[in-house]
Amino acid sequence: MKIKVLGCSGSELPDFHPPAFLIDEGILLDAGTVTAALDEDSQSRITHIFITHPHLDHIRSIPSLADNMLVKNWKHKIVIIGIKEVLKSLKENLLNNSIWPDFTAIPDSKEPVLRLKAIETGKRYNINGYSIIAEKVKHSVPAVGYIIKDSKGKSLLYTGDTGPSSDLWKRVNSEMKNTAIDGAIIEVTFPNRMKELAIKTGHLNPALFFDELKKLKRLPQKIFITHPKPQFSKIIIPELRSLKIKQITMLKEGKTYNI
């Protein structure tokens, strides 16, 4: 499984962009940075977008991607997948014919550019040869993480934004009975000294992240860190290093990782 990092930051600054991960070629996890990072051909190969939650930094490339598809008159459509609360918010607050045109009815409601597909937590869905399960995490709005397995049996966990939680880790333990998950993209947003703010806003710092890992029966083979605030990365990176977990990698935008 190839993971191309289009964005992996918890704030936007030059060279630091909101989260989006392209899995192989067709599946996107979150859509914080898409159209500014992928050329038109690559954009046209996207078939599904899995959204973790409706915060703007995770959805804000959806409007420009829909617009590009319409301009290009590309034949294929994109399916946006999420729990119903997330899709409701997308429809009411973004694709609402005020902030942006409703691309779920453009060019017409029978063959729209974007389709929304609601999924339930804890249920397995087979999409384009991938098996995908969503499970609840603890954030300031309804939010999920995803467990994705490809046809070769490789497995990836993506937490999206989360504070200390339990459901997602339990789901990983029950899904991965005898083996460790191959890769895990886990958020760490704040440094240790900002623990109160992290918990209040539904995020992790290195110490809280370490406590979350203890909830897993087996450590993932590779652990990728996403969503740090770049303003604090000089503090967060040494704090993560001091945990002495050898499989931790700080994700870099524009890079592709293999699991």
Binding site for Zn ion (CB under 5 A): 55, 57, 161
Minimum Å gap between C-beta 112 and Zn ion is 27
**Pick 90 or 106: Cβ nearer Zn ion:** 90
In whole angstroms, how far apart are CA 61 and each of 42, 51, 68, 94, 254?
14, 12, 11, 11, 16
3-state secondary structure of 56: helix
Minimum Å gap between C-beta 115 and Zn ion is 24
Minimum Å gap between C-beta 54 and Zn ion is 8
Tell me the pairing of strands 124-127 and 130-136: antiparallel
Q: Which residue has the tokens 């590009």?
A: 68
**Pick 68 or 162: Cβ nearer Zn ion:** 162
Minimum Å gap between C-beta 187 and Zn ion is 8
**Pick 48 or 58: Cβ nearer Zn ion:** 58
**Pick 112 or 142: Cβ nearer Zn ion:** 142
For the record, the structure tokens of 64 come out as 């420009």
Which residues make Cβ contacts (< 8 Å) with residue 221, sequence separation at least 6? 180, 181, 182, 183, 247, 259
